[in-house]
């Protein structure tokens, strides 16, 4: 004969006695069991540690970039200082090479030049310029001055009239 027992009195699957269900109760909304709260705390802690490590690595990377930039800036400053010192040396060398004493000494040593014992200055004669006239072929100072005035007119319109035919041939 088989008798059925109520669910509460059935034997526990492990065979230790009747199975008893815990009493049900109403829990507030958003309630988490202690095990779920510990799991959530572990996840938040792991995420926080990973974020903190990432932040530290990011800061270290930025510091490395700043240090590299500072080294580059220092190297460029050193190059600029060296270039400026070389410029000063070259300007001094140019000044020494351009000095009259060096030029005179070089001319005497290499080229065999000597200083003159006396200086002679040449002056042009002060006689008036003579121009030959086309009709007579004779030169007269009055004709030369008249021709000079004709070549260089003082009136701008007369100058333009003289220059215009010459410009027309060369555009």
Inter-residue contact 133 to 143 (CB < 8 Å):
yes
- Which is more confident, 155 or 135? 155
CA angle 49/51/54 to nearest 5° reads 110
Residue 53 pLDDT: 97
pLDDT (mean) for 67-96: 97
Query: How big is the chain by its Cα radius of gyration, in Å?
Result: 57
**Residues of the chain with pLDDT > 70: what percent?**
66
Whole-number average pLDDT of the chain: 80
pLDDT (mean) for 8-37: 76
pTM listed for this prediction: 0.40
pLDDT (mean) for 122-143: 62
pLDDT (mean) for 144-171: 63
Q: Which two tokens stand for residue 73?
A: 């800036």
Residue spans of the domains in the chain: they are 34-100
How many contiguous H segments (helices) and E segments (strands) does the chain have?
4, 2
CA separation for the pair 43, 49 (Å, rounded): 10
Model confidence at 99: pLDDT above 90: yes
């Amino acid at each position: 004969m088989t008798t059925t027992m109520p669910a509460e009195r059935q034997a526990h699957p492990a065979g230790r006695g009747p199975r008893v269900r815990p009493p049900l109760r109403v829990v507030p909304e958003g309630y988490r069991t202690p095990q779920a709260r510990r799991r959530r705390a572990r996840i938040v802690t792991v995420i926080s540690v990973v974020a903190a490590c990432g932040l530290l690595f990011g800061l270290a990377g930025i510091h490395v970039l700043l240090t590299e930039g500072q080294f580059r800036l220092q190297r460029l400053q050193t190059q600029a200082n060296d270039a400026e010192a070389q410029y000063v040396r070259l300007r001094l060398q140019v000044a020494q090479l351009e000095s009259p004493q060096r030029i005179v000494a070089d001319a005497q040593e290499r080229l065999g030049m000597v200083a003159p014992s006396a200086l002679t200055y040449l002056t042009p004669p002060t006689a008036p310029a003579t121009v030959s006239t086309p009709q007579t072929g004779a030169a007269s100072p009055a004709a030369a001055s008249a021709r000079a005035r004709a070549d260089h007119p003082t009136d701008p319109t007369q100058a333009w009239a003289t220059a215009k035919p010459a410009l027309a041939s060369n555009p």
